[in-house]
Amino acid sequence: MVNLAVVEGVLERITYANEENGYTVARVDTGRGAGDLLTVVGSLLGAQPGESLRMEGRWGSHPQYGRQFTVENYTTVLPATVQGIRRYLGSGLIKGIGPRIAERIVDHFGTETLDVIEKEPERLVEVPGLGPKRTRLIGAAWEEQKAIKEVMVFLQGVGVSTSIAVRIYKQYGDASISVVRGRPYRLAADVWGIGFLTADRIAQAVGIPHDSPDRVKAGLQYALSQSTDQGHCFLPEERLITEAVKLLQVDTGLVIECLAELAEDPEGVVRETVPGPEGAPVTAVYLIPFHRAELSLAGQLRRLLRAEEDRLAAFRDVAWDKALAWLADRTGASLAAEQEQAVRLALTEKVAVLTGGPGCGKSFTVRSIVELARAKRAKVVLAAPTGRAAKRLAELTGAEASTVHRLLELKPGGDAAYDRDRPLDADLIVVDEASMLDLLLANKLVKAVAPGAHLLLVGDVDQLPSVGAGEVLG
């Protein structure tokens, strides 16, 4: 363990604060005099100018701003002097109190000001210019601030860093303490950046038993999510049980019981018999999003194949001899028989896969398909799983190509701007390096293909593996 340095000082001003994650840049007066203020950075949710802070963290240096202190945890001490209280209240801490009102309140109540707001807020009407309505607002805002502080103090007391405490508070608000005390393993599912291991550490701090069923269920889901990082959409039941016993250090019987309960839970896991590597049936255990995506992807592909309309209907009765002669003239090379077959397939079938090893002519075939589709004024959209592959596809076809993420306008949480209700405006969608498509991304992509549009997946199963779990092209 690295010992953290401790700095004490009065928070003078906040120069930047991110509402989402609580990250703050602030200036603190450590009492060195001569107007010398220290820059502190880190999560300071709830801290207000005028408060005295005791901060734990690490010293560092910023190329532009010089020496600064990175805060990991902090505690606040309410200001005791009239000057400190005036600055504290005038900082914008409470909606309805600006510097001038703060001045009036402090002039009236002096060092007792904070006690009055805390215990007898109705007395604020004694201050000239403060009516009952604003008095009530001030009381309510003070209570809200106090609730944030209580939650932060509790979370720091059970060993949660300030940055994670901010995320927990953003998720659960005033219910944070009861969730952390009663159901700490929920944090792993609900709060971005908290995994099972962090939730497990918090659970130990609040006294959740080592063999708690909640712990075992969370551990089973964690083992499955770890396996998705290694490319697996599911784990065989026996292997999952073995891995969970090793991870959790509990009895096998307890793990089996908890797995059965999880399989009954609509938000738990899915157990299903699937063909194993040797053909023998295997009981597979899936995390729900992966099972849903697998069913959905199969269903969406079936939907595309069976669509009545055809956005490339012009190729149903095209004179292929003429079309291919025009193409050879345009590209300066003729297609081999297999390439010709692939071109026809992609332009007449709604879903097609073009595969083969390096040097087998995939690139020229793709270029030919795009040229012919454009000649019929079709809207062609080109994409690839990575920026580099998209750039290469653009160079090959002479048209714009983007990553699949950008094409779908995928947001960090996983929601896409385009889906079944708002499909992509394209007649032909070509995805290169499709071996890199994982299950979740492929599902989102196929959902966004409009009925009647054609989807062409291009790639080599022996080339780059998928980014996440699932070998879709394979």
For the domain that residue 103 is a member of, what is the CATH number? 2.40.50.140
Residue 203 has pLDDT above 60, yes or no: yes
The domain spanning residue 255 has which CATH number?
A: 1.10.10.2220
CA-based torsion, 307, 310, 312, 317: positive or negative:
positive
Higher pLDDT: 469 or 241? It is: 241
* Percentage above 90 pLDDT, the chain: 17
99 occurs within a structural domain: yes
34 has a pLDDT exceeding 70: no
pLDDT number for residue 446: 92
Contact 43, 71 (CB under 8 A): yes
**142 and 167 part of one domain:** no
Tokens of 147: 């609730």
d(CA 190, CA 26): 29
Question: Are 341 and 434 part of one and the same domain?
Answer: yes
pLDDT of residue 86: 80
Tens-place pLDDT, residues 376-406: 898 988 888 888 888 888 888 877 888 888 8
Q: Is residue 400 a part of any domain in this protein?
A: yes
* Per-residue confidence (pLDDT) for residue 93, from 0 to 100: 63
Does some domain include residue 235?
A: yes
107 with 227, same domain: the answer is no
Q: Return the residue matching tokens 């076809």.
A: 397
pLDDT for the residue numbered 215: 92
Looking up tokens 């345009």 gives 330
Mean pLDDT of 362-374: 86
Q: Where are the beta strands (DSSP E) in 297-439?
A: 351-355, 380-384, 401-403, 428-431
Which residues on neighbouring strands pair with residue 43, listed in sequence order? 23
Is the sign of the CA dihedral 105, 110, 111, 115 positive or negative?
negative
The gap from C-alpha 339 to its chain's centroid, in whole angstroms, comes to 41
Indicate whether 240 and 166 sit together in one domain. no
CA distance 136 to 142: 10
> Are 330 and 423 within one domain?
yes
445 and 427 within one domain: yes
145 with 162, same domain: the answer is no
| Residue 255 CB contacts under 8 Å (≥ 6 apart), including other chains | 216, 220, 241, 244, 245, 248
| 466 belongs to a structural domain | no
β-pair type (380-384, 401-403): parallel
pLDDT higher than threshold 80 for residue 61: yes
Q: Taking phi first (over 0 means left), then psi (-120 to 50 degrees means alpha), and beta for anything else, what does residue 42 get?
A: left
Same domain, 163 and 273: no
Cα separation, 376 vs 445, in Å, equals 24
Which DSSP letter does residue 5 get?
E
Best CA proximity match to 136, nearest among 95, 173, 78: 95
Q: Which strands form 401-403's sheet, in the order they lie side by side?
A: 351-355, 454-459, 428-431, 380-384, 401-403
Number of H helices, E strands in the chain: 18, 13
148 and 58 within one domain: yes
| pLDDT for residue 1 is more than 70 | no
Query: Residue 192 burial (CB < 10 Å; 0-12/13-18/19+)?
Result: exposed
What pLDDT, in 10s, does the model give residues 112-132?
888 888 888 889 889 888 888
Higher pLDDT, 188 or 96: 188
**Strongest mean pLDDT among 30-39, 166-175, 333-342, 438-447:** 438-447
Least confident piece of the model among 124-133, 219-228, 434-443, 458-467 = 458-467
Residue 275 has pLDDT above 60, yes or no: yes
Task: Give dist(CA 468, CA 436) in Å, integer.
Answer: 8
> Both 101 and 70 in a single domain?
yes
What is the rounded distance in angstroms from the CA atom of residue 223 to the CA atom of residue 241?
9
421 and 391 in one domain? Answer: yes
pLDDT at 5 over 70: yes
pLDDT for 33: 60
Torsion, Cα of 393, 397, 403, 407 (10° steps):
-160
Q: How far apart are CA 455 and CA 457, in angstroms?
A: 7
Query: Does 315 lie in the same domain as 425?
Result: yes
Q: Which amino acid is at 234?
A: F
Per-residue model confidence (pLDDT) at position 252: 92
- Cβ proximity of 389 and 405 under 8 Å: no
Beta bridge partners of 85: none
Q: Angle at Cα 326 formed by Cα 325 and Cα 327, nearest 5°?
A: 90
Mean pLDDT for 443-464 is: 86
Tokens matching residue 286? 């899936």
- Phi-psi bin for 406: left (phi > 0), alpha (psi -120 to 50), beta? alpha
> How far is Cα 408 from Cα 423, in angstroms, rounded to an integer?
9
Kindly state the average pLDDT of the residues 250-267: 92
**Residue 56 — φ and ψ, nearest 5°?**
-110, 140
Averaged over 308-324, what is the pLDDT?
Answer: 86
Average pLDDT in the chain: 84
Q: Check residue 32 and give its pLDDT.
A: 67
pLDDT > 90? residue 257: yes
Within-domain flag for 451: yes
Amino acid at 344: R
Per-residue pLDDT at 239? 93
Lowest mean pLDDT, pick from 95-104, 202-211, 283-292? 95-104
Least confident of 101-105, 137-141, 369-373, 426-430: 137-141
Residue 390, pLDDT score:
87
CATH of the domain at 413: 3.40.50.300
Report the greatest alpha carbon distance in the chain.
95
The count of domains in the chain is 4
Q: Give mean pLDDT, residues 83-96.
A: 72
Is 426 within the bounds of a domain?
yes
Q: For residue 200, what are the domain limits?
A: 158-205
**How far is the C-alpha of 263 from the C-alpha of 448, rounded, in Å?**
31
34-53: average pLDDT? 80
What pLDDT band is residue 70 in, cutting at 50, 70 and 90? very high
Q: Could you tell me if residue 298 is inside a domain?
A: no
* Pairwise CA distance, residues 332 & 326, whole Å: 10
Which residues, in sequence order, are bridge partners of residue 57?
A: 5, 71
Residue 31's pLDDT band, with cuts at 50, 70 and 90, is confident
For residue 358 the two structure tokens come to 């390096």
| Residue 190 belongs to a domain | yes
